[in-house]
Amino acid sequence: MVSMDQPAVGYPNSPEEAESINLSYYLGLLYRHRVFLFTFFFISVTLVGIFLMKLPDQYRSTTQVLIESAPVSAGASEELEPTFQSYTYVDTQAEIIASIPILTVAAEKEDLANFFEVEDLREAVFVLKKKLRVRAVRGTQLINISIATPSAEKSAAIVNSIAETYVKQSIQNRLFFSKEILNLLPEGGGKKTIEDLSPIGQLEKLEDIKFAATLPSVRSDPTILELKNQIAKAETDLFELKRQYREQHPDVMKVQANLKFLKESVDVQIKRVVHELKTALSKRLQVSDVRVVQAGEPALLPEGPKRLRLILLFIILELLLSFGFVILIDYIDDRVKNQDDIERFVRLPYLGHTPVLRLEGEKNKSKGYFYVYANPQSDLAESLRYIRVGINFSAPPDMLRAFAITSSIPQEGKSFCSCNLASSFALDGNKVLLVDADNRRPVLHTVFNMDNDYGLINYLTSDVTLESITRKTDVPGLDFIASGPESPNPSELLGSEKMAEFIQKAKSQYDRVIVDAPPLVGIGDGLVLGKLIGHLILIIRSHRISRKVIRQIRERLQQHQIKVLGVILNHLDMEKDRYGYYRYHYHTYNRYYGKKAIKRKEKKERRHHKKAS
Is residue 278 one of the residues assigned to a domain?
yes
pLDDT at residue 612, rounded to an integer = 63
Question: Are 39 and 85 found together in one domain?
Answer: no
Angle at 462 between CA 456 and CA 466, to 5 degrees: 50
pLDDT at residue 2, rounded to an integer = 39
Burial 418-430 (b: 16+ CB within 10 A, else e): bbbbbbbbbbeeb
Is residue 469 one of the residues assigned to a domain?
yes
Question: Are 537 and 563 found together in one domain?
Answer: yes
Alpha-carbon distances, residue 361 vs 357, 358, 365, 368 (angstroms): 12, 8, 10, 12
Question: Are 356 and 464 found together in one domain?
Answer: yes
Q: CATH number, domain at 449?
A: 3.40.50.300
The per-residue pLDDT for range 414-426, each reduced to its tens digit, is 999 999 999 999 9
The per-residue pLDDT for range 471-524, each reduced to its tens digit, is 999 999 999 999 999 998 899 999 999 999 999 999 999 999 999 999 998 888
Question: Are 320 and 361 found together in one domain?
Answer: no
Is residue 603 one of the residues assigned to a domain?
no
Question: Are 210 and 113 found together in one domain?
Answer: no
Answer whether 445's CB lies under 8 Å from 468's CB: no
Is residue 300 one of the residues assigned to a domain?
no
Q: Which of 347, 413, 292 is nearest to 550 (CA)?
A: 347
* Number of other CB atoms surrounding residue 112 within 10 Å: 25
Helix (H) or strand (E) holding 99: none
Residues in the chain: 613
Answer whether 151's CB lies under 8 Å from 59's CB: yes
Question: Are 537 and 421 found together in one domain?
Answer: yes
Question: Are 357 and 503 found together in one domain?
Answer: yes
3-state secondary structure 233-278: HHHHHHHHHHHHCCCCCHHHHHHHHHHHHHHHHHHHHHHHHHHHHH
Is residue 188 one of the residues assigned to a domain?
no
pLDDT at residue 74, rounded to an integer = 41
Q: CATH number, domain at 106?
A: 3.30.1890
**DSSP, residue by residue, 416-466:** HHHHHHHHHHHHTT--EEEEE---SS--HHHHTT---SSSHHHHHHS---H
Answer whether 484's CB lies under 8 Å from 490's CB: no
Sheet holding 432-436, edge to edge: 350-355, 563-572, 535-541, 402-407, 512-516, 432-436, 478-481, 471-472
Q: Which of 406, 335, 332 is nearest to 577 (CA)?
A: 335
Is residue 298 one of the residues assigned to a domain?
no
Question: Are 63 and 159 found together in one domain?
Answer: yes
Question: Are 535 and 421 found together in one domain?
Answer: yes
**Mean pLDDT in runs of 10 for the chain (613 residues)?**
40 41 73 87 93 92 84 42 57 92 93 92 94 91 94 94 90 56 39 49 60 71 85 86 83 86 85 74 60 92 90 94 90 85 85 84 65 89 92 84 94 94 94 95 92 94 94 95 92 93 95 95 88 93 90 90 92 67 52 57 64 62
Answer whether 495's CB lies under 8 Å from 460's CB: no
Return the DSSP state at 578. -
Answer whether 139's CB lies under 8 Å from 156's CB: no
pLDDT at residue 271, rounded to an integer = 81
Question: Are 88 and 148 found together in one domain?
Answer: yes
What does the alpha-carbon distance between residue 200 and residue 213 come to, in Å, rounded to a whole number? 20
Alpha-carbon Rg for the chain, nearest whole angstrom, is 52
Q: Is 571 left (phi over 0), alpha (psi -120 to 50) or beta?
A: left
Is residue 169 one of the residues assigned to a domain?
yes
pLDDT at residue 517, rounded to an integer = 95
Question: Are 105 and 245 found together in one domain?
Answer: no
Question: Are 315 and 338 found together in one domain?
Answer: no
Q: What domain range is 38 assigned to? A: 33-55+305-329
The most distant pair of C-alpha atoms in the chain lies apart, rounded to whole Å, by 171
To the question of pTM greater than 0.75 for the whole model, the response is no
Angle at 291 between CA 289 and CA 297, to 5 degrees: 165
Is residue 292 one of the residues assigned to a domain?
no
Return the DSSP state at 356. -
Q: Which amino acid is at 410?
A: P
Q: How many domains does the chain have?
A: 4
